[in-house]
Amino acid sequence: MGDCGIMIIESGVHVMFMGEYQHNIDTKGRIIVPAKFREDLGDTFVITRGLDQCLFAYPMDEWHVLEEKLKKLPMTKKDARAFTRFFFSGAVECEVDKQGRINIPSSLRTYATMEKECVVIGVSNRIEIWSKDKWNDYVEVSEESFAEIAENMMEIDF
């Protein structure tokens, strides 16, 4: 209770990842997680195959929310089964080491074609890890059609 007899209710803290950071992945598959992302990711988080040939990383709270949504997909639908298989089969729990790095399994590095130069970006409730070449290609194509993408977002009541 506050001084005026008003009960103060703390709402859940929502994470917000944003920004773009360039890092190299070493020969053992380790990459530095930007310092600005580490606290919100937490001690343990989930990394999995993302869309557009990048990797998605979620704090555990966000992962559990997503997991509950995916559980509600109708398993009688072929696309729902395919998506959940793809998404969950690539998922692994990760921890940040004392140097601020995570170890990305070779299967995920292969999926995202990560060899040396990478880009780590914040995307609202998750981070994405891209090979630098794939990210540059994606940005180049997306910049050309950004106005059209924005217009399409308005059509879905954005």
pLDDT band at 157 (very low <50, low <70, confident <90, very high): low
Give the chain's mean pLDDT: 88
Whether residue 75 contacts residue 81, with contact meaning beta carbons closer than 8 Å, is answered with yes
Give domain limits for the chain. 17-131
Segment 2-9 shows an average pLDDT of: 36
pTM confidence score: 0.85
Highest mean pLDDT pick, 117-121, 143-147, 154-158: 117-121
Q: What integer pLDDT is reported at residue 15 of this predicted model?
A: 75
Q: SS in 3 state form for 52-119?
A: HHCEEEEEHHHHHHHHHHHHCCCCCCHHHHHHHHHHHHCCEEEECCCCCEEECCHHHHHHCCCCCEEE
What does the pLDDT look like over 21-42, one tens digit per residue?
999 999 999 999 999 999 899 8
Question: Which class in CATH covers the domain with range 17-131?
Answer: alpha beta
Average pLDDT over residues 46-58: 96
> What amino acid occupies position 53?
Q
